[in-house]
Chains A and B, each alone.
Chain A
Amino acid sequence: MAVIRRKVASAAGIAVAATLLFTGCAAGTGTEGSDCAEVTEITWLGTIKVEIQDQFKAAIEEYNATNTDCVAVEILESPQDVPFLQTVTPLYEAGKAPTIMTALQEIPDMAPRVLDWSGQPLAELAAPGTLDVATIDGKVAGIPITAEAFGLLYNKAVLDAAGVDVASITTRSELADAFGAISESGVSPVHFSGLWWSLGAHFTNIYHANAAEDIEGRLAVLDELKAGEKDLLSDPVFENWLDTFDLLKANTIDTASIADTDYDLGVENLAVGDTGFWFMGNWAEPNLLTATPDGEFGVMPVPISDEAGTYGNDSISVGVPFYAMIDAEQASAEQQEAAIAVLTWFITTPEGQAYWSGPVEDGGMNFIPVYDGFTVSPTTFMASEIADYIAAGKTLQWVNSAYPAGLQEAYGAAAQKYYDGVSDRATFAAELEAAWAE
């Protein structure tokens, strides 16, 4: 019954009525004992994501208390099922724009009114390629918060018991064999969620990321779709992708029906070992570990081609789920500097890094670092696996970051119909193509 079904929705918030900039320390937050002649007040919209909001708040509280930069950060929260633009546009209208915002798909909307990160030290530290999505017309509108990855999550204990080694699965047929082996061991092979965002934003990404080996080629596919010139059914990669879709559907626990779809059910199935695999992302790892604290849960690629070595077959989808943007339209120069200072603290100091990437149980946010110079790294099984994939360059692009607003919803609706068996391949392809027409 998740009210929020939108994977990439950053927790949004609404600003504070206080004057944005005020001078003098007297009333400043936690400024006692510091030498600040002047405290710069800034606002941070949302808590990056709901799951780590307590840790985030604690981090900001500590930052405000130590106050090395003479900056006071105020977190702006709001009801969670609220689209980013619904929160942000009234704030801009009201002249109370938040200083720091985190978002992904709305970056193009925000680009004209946010700070250009080009040449900033933090942007230089960001891992290669992570700024591409946030670069709009040559302007670097945001810097990455973290990387997330999705693919086939697996329960190592179940796979070991069935004698399956994930490293040996390099093609769709081998995946089918692995499913067979797990079945024989008496466990359902996979939990394939029919959640619209899982299908619409993540599973469709597997096709788009495999569609071409280079970014230009992948974007060309999007352009063709936009122009209404793409015939998906005649694309062999799309065919492969549909075959894999069918394979997961055929092997999912229960029947493939969005009626039986529930995020928590997926967590439970994989955590207790009722299934061997689950198509999901590393954000589920804390949930899995809560359910089964001593479990080992990893992630592997979704091979769609039947030829080993085909581009993408050995890679997991890795991307940046949200970018940090700094308002440049209503924030003063001091406030923009202050906002940079906060992010610099998080990303470059030991204290900040401990909050940023430290383990959840120690009060950290468990973010996979995407910057040079990190001394803290996540300790969990899946997070370290992902780090290995990143180090080996075995990553697929999140082409879904380039989906226009609303497309993943339309994709999700079409995919759910196919998942439910309401539509056939031709209808599905036609609906995916039609999603671009709007």
Chain B
Amino acid sequence: MRTRRQEIQRFAVFALLPLSIFILVLVVPFGRGVYFTFTDWNGFDITKFVGFDNYIAAFQNDDFWQSMGLTLAYVAASLVLVNVVGFVLALLVTMPLRGVNGLRTAFFLPNLIGGVILGLIWQFLFGQAFPVLAEATGIPVFEENWLLDTTTAFWAMVIVTVWQMSGYMMIIYITALMSIEQEALEASLIDGTNAVQRLFLIKMPLMAQAFTISLFLTMRNAFMAYDLNLSLTGGNPYGTTELISLQVFREAFSFGNFASGQTQAVLMFVVIAIAALAQVAISKRYEVQR
């Protein structure tokens, strides 16, 4: 055991600076933000405390709930599709195929690009390129601009999200697939199982940890999606594709309802926290039971 003095010394050397920055930049503003939610803050001044009025108003705000619902749907769709696609890609590029490196690069490349720029690229694709392509090839799916209809605009966001994030998840799954011990696979070969059985019965259970991490990362990113939403759909058409981040943002900065926007942001944090805890708890239980 270290002495108390040594402990303090170590704290001063290693932790004081990082923690001070963390507290200054993140903890204090968060506390300040929570404080704002109990006031009539208008972005400039505070004149009085309003108790829980902002929270009551948020719970009664249809736009807030609509965004929240849309966000949950978006998170669910991304969670499933990003990981299924990422996993399939990982399986493909771990096969003995020619040009595997080129394939990996192609799948990973979208991940290098930020949400704002991605959104601008895809806005051009959905708005301009695809309709012309549909006309030229006779494939009717993309004939209309997907960004102008609530349902298709939602799926457009999901498609772009899958395109962007599946490459990252692919890398995680590749690593997990490669680290499966050969003995386990060889043993199963002797048992005479086929490839599909091996995948579902042997490989996937051994990769449980990779799934936990991928799911957590996908969920966190999807809940916080903002850049892509802003630059791809901007919440249109009819303001029906506003995910919660954008909704919070607009409430504060476009409409000038700062206290109410801040309140919605705090509620958003609570929802994400609950979802993240639930996901990790469920995944961990699965990991242990295998």
Q: Is any CB of A less than 8 Å from a CB of B in the complex?
A: yes
Bits for A397-422, please: 1 = Cβ < 8 Å to B, else 0. 00000000110011001101100000
In this complex, the member of B120, B148, B256, B258 whose beta carbon has the largest number of chain A beta carbons within 10 angstroms is B256
- A220 at the B interface (CB under 8 A): no
| Nearest CB in chain A: distance from B35 CB, A | 14
Choose among A83, A259, A262, A413 the residue that contacts B239 (Cβ–Cβ < 8 A). Answer: A413
Contact, CB under 8 Å: B148 / A259: yes
Contact, CB under 8 Å: B148 / A1: no
Contact, CB under 8 Å: B255 / A89: no
In this complex, the member of B231, B234, B253 whose beta carbon has the largest number of chain A beta carbons within 10 angstroms is B253
- B145 at the A interface (CB under 8 A): yes
With contacts A3-B120, A5-B234 taken as known, whether A406 is within 8 angstroms of B254 at the C-beta atoms is yes
With contacts A258-B148, A258-B237 taken as known, whether A406 is within 8 angstroms of B123 at the C-beta atoms is no
CA distance A109 to B258 in the complex (A): 12
A383-438 contacts to B (CB < 8 Å)? 405-406, 409-410, 413-414, 416-417, 438
CA distance A3 to B61 in the complex (A): 27
A98-148 contacts to B (CB < 8 Å)? 106, 109, 112-113
Bits for A1-19, please: 1 = Cβ < 8 Å to B, else 0. 1010100000000000000
- B42 at the A interface (CB under 8 A): yes
Q: Which residue of A lies closest to B239 (CB)?
A: A413
Contact, CB under 8 Å: B145 / A405: no
- A85 at the B interface (CB under 8 A): yes
| Nearest CB in chain B: distance from A243 CB, A | 23
Contact, CB under 8 Å: A85 / B254: yes
CA distance A414 to B237 in the complex (A): 10
* Complex contacts, B231 vs chain A, CB 8 Å: 3, 81
| Nearest CB in chain A: distance from B31 CB, A | 16
CA distance A92 to B250 in the complex (A): 19
| Nearest CB in chain B: distance from A286 CB, A | 23
| Nearest CB in chain B: distance from A5 CB, A | 7
CA distance A81 to B144 in the complex (A): 25
Contact, CB under 8 Å: B127 / A85: no
With contacts A1-B123, A259-B144 taken as known, whether A86 is within 8 angstroms of B253 at the C-beta atoms is yes
CA distance A83 to B254 in the complex (A): 6
Choose among B43, B128, B238, B250 the residue that contacts A89 (Cβ–Cβ < 8 A). Answer: B43
Bits for B245-257, please: 1 = Cβ < 8 Å to A, else 0. 0000110111110
* Complex contacts, B14 vs chain A, CB 8 Å: none
Q: Which residue of B lies closest to A87 (CB)?
A: B253
- B124 at the A interface (CB under 8 A): yes
Contact, CB under 8 Å: B230 / A405: no
CA distance A5 to B149 in the complex (A): 17
Interface range on chain A: under 10, 10 to 19, 20 to 34, or 35 or more?
20 to 34
- B63 at the A interface (CB under 8 A): yes
- A192 at the B interface (CB under 8 A): no
| Nearest CB in chain A: distance from B56 CB, A | 15
| Nearest CB in chain B: distance from A251 CB, A | 21
19 further contact pairs, Cβ within 8 A, besides A85-B253, A262-B127, A413-B238:
A1-B120, A1-B123, A1-B124, A1-B127, A3-B123, A83-B253, A85-B252, A86-B254, A89-B43, A89-B258, A106-B256, A109-B44, A196-B236, A259-B144, A406-B254, A413-B237, A413-B239, A413-B240, A416-B238
Q: Which residue of A lies closest to B249 (CB)?
A: A86
CA distance A85 to B43 in the complex (A): 8
CA distance A258 to B144 in the complex (A): 10
With contacts A81-B230, A416-B237 taken as known, whether A109 is within 8 angstroms of B43 at the C-beta atoms is yes
| Nearest CB in chain A: distance from B66 CB, A | 12
| Nearest CB in chain B: distance from A123 CB, A | 24
In this complex, the member of B124, B238, B240 whose beta carbon has the largest number of chain A beta carbons within 10 angstroms is B238
Contact, CB under 8 Å: A85 / B145: no
Choose among B44, B127, B145 the residue that contacts A113 (Cβ–Cβ < 8 A). Answer: B44
With contacts A1-B124, A3-B120, A438-B63 taken as known, whether A92 is within 8 angstroms of B238 at the C-beta atoms is no
* Complex contacts, B230 vs chain A, CB 8 Å: 81
A259-274 contacts to B (CB < 8 Å)? 259, 261-262
* Complex contacts, B128 vs chain A, CB 8 Å: 1
* Complex contacts, A86 vs chain B, CB 8 Å: 249, 252-254
Give 10 closest A-B pairs by Cβ, nearest first.
A86-B253, A413-B238, A89-B43, A406-B255, A83-B253, A83-B254, A259-B148, A85-B253, A405-B255, A413-B239
